[in-house]
Amino acid sequence: MFELPTDLPADLAPLSWLIGVWEGTGVVDYEVDGTHYSGEIAHRVSFSHDGGPHLNYAASAWIAGADGSGTPLLSETGFWRLERPSLDSDPGPALLPATATAAARTADDVETLRNSAGGFDILASLVHSDGTSELYVGQVRGPRIDLTTDAIVRPVGAKPYTAATRMYGLVEGHLLWAWDIAALGRELGSHASARLKRAD
């Protein structure tokens, strides 16, 4: 049985069900100009916190080999947080310290962030190992998260990749995940999905 940490900042309460390491398998299915990319993948996702008002995120995926080996496909890292205005008590940008003393945020403070759909607006910033960066905006509503890219920044020479959506949901104790992309000249379409269970 999973128990929520008792030392979570209030801002993480709506995202707390993600915390932990999730592992499982999924599929890639994407076709571009007559080339069909498909196959089974192994996937591992980690959500953790370090006391700040954000979740630390790391994920990797590889083509599952019959002998237990695999070919790496993806490695990404990033941060997930509720969207809220920066306060004088927040540090940044860069290494600039806060200009006011932080008061402990409460569940009531977080409740003021609830949107008209009954969820909370969130931001997820992710960086892939090839240098591509994605900024997602979306919402968490109970045990479901929907994200859409607000910006994608690619290094010179990277393959075309212009938009994406991601969906995460907690269903019967499993983390279900789906990723749609617009890449290699194709419009936004289904790309990959996986079913993950919490690792012991």
Residue holding tokens 């960066």? 133
pLDDT band at 71 (very low <50, low <70, confident <90, very high): confident
Q: Could you read off the pLDDT of 110-133 as tens digits, one per residue?
A: 999 999 999 999 999 999 999 999
Query: In whole angstroms, what is the distance from residue 95 CA to residue 199 CA?
Result: 35
Query: In whole angstroms, what is the distance from residue 188 CA to residue 172 CA?
Result: 29
Query: In whole angstroms, what is the distance from residue 127 CA to residue 133 CA?
Result: 4
Is the distance from CB of 188 to CB of 165 less than 8 angstroms? yes
Residue predicted with more confidence, 18 or 71: 18
Catalogue all structural domains in the chain, each as residue range(s) with its CATH number: 10-198 (2.40.128.20)
pLDDT band at 35 (very low <50, low <70, confident <90, very high): confident
Single-letter amino acid code for the residue at 85: P
Specify the pTM: 0.92
Q: In whole numbers, what is the pLDDT of the chain averaged over residues?
A: 92
